[in-house]
Structures are given as C-alpha cells and as structure tokens.
C-alpha cells in the first residue's frame, strides 16, 4: 500500500520543486543559469505525468 502512495505523492512534489527551480534559474541574469533553465521543465513534466501514467 505504501508504493502506490509514494507514486501519487512524491512525483508531484518533485514536479513542483522542478518548476520552482526553473523559475529561479530564469530569473537570473547570467546566461549559465538561463541554460540550466532548460533542464527542470523536462524533469518536472515527467514527474507530473507519472501518476497519470499509473492511473491509465
């Protein structure tokens, strides 16, 4: 029972953290941070879609 609960709670939390990191990187002025901003949305979208994939 703990495993399904983990997959319905942890990935959405990681998605929120990823999108927060994305906005923090986008807000910086240096180009290095703007380049880093390309990674979190992909990871966040993947984490956000895991529970939907389990349901389907």
pLDDT digits (tens, 9 = 90+) for 1-51: 677 778 788 888 888 888 888 888 888 888 887 777 777 788 888 888 888
What pTM did the predictor assign? 0.71
What stretches of 1-56 adopt beta strand conformation (E)? none
Write down the pLDDT at residue 1.
65
Q: How far is CA 20 from CA 26, 41, 44, 50, in A?
A: 10, 9, 9, 18
CB neighbours of residue 7 within 10 Å: 14
Write down the pLDDT at residue 9.
84
> Two tokens at 15?
């998605």
């Amino acid at each position: 029972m703990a495993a399904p609960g983990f997959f319905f709670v942890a990935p959405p939390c990681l998605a929120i953290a990823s999108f927060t990191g994305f906005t923090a990187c986008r807000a910086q002025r240096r180009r290095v941070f703007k380049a880093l901003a390309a990674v979190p949305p992909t990871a966040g979208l993947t984490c956000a879609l895991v529970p939907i994939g389990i349901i389907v």
